[in-house]
Amino acid sequence: KDEKVGTGTEAIEGSEIEVSYRGTLDDGTVFDSAKSFVFTLGAKDVIRGWDMGIVGMREGGKRRLVVPPKLGYGQRGSGSAAESGYIPPGATLHFLIQIKKVRG
C-alpha cells in the first residue's frame, strides 16, 4: 500500500535502489531497519517480496509491504532467537520502505 507516491525516477528491474526501511513482525517487534540500504532490484539481493513489491515505486515514495513467508524467509526463518534481528520460521514480515534514490 502506498503511503506517499513519489515523483522521481521509477524503480524497474535492474535499477540500483537506495532505500530506508523498518521491518517488523506481526506483533510489532522490529527485527531490522536502516536509514540507507542499496541493492539492485530483481537481482535476488533481497527477499523476493521486496523484488516484487518495490517495482513501480518512484523516488520519494513510501510504501507498506506485507510479505508472506513464501516471499520472505519461509519455514527456515533467519538468525537465532538469542540474537537481535531474529525472524522466526513462518513469519509474515511488515515493511515501511521509502525510496531515496533510483539509478539506472
- Residues forming the active site: 21, 31-32, 47, 73, 95
Is the CA virtual torsion 76, 79, 81, 87 positive or negative? negative
Q: In what order do the strands lie in the sheet with 93-103?
A: 2-4, 62-67, 93-103, 16-24, 30-40
Helices (H), the chain: 48-53
C-alpha cell at 1: 500500500
- Cβ atoms of 69 and 95 within 8 Å: the answer is no
Tell me 87's DSSP state. Answer: B
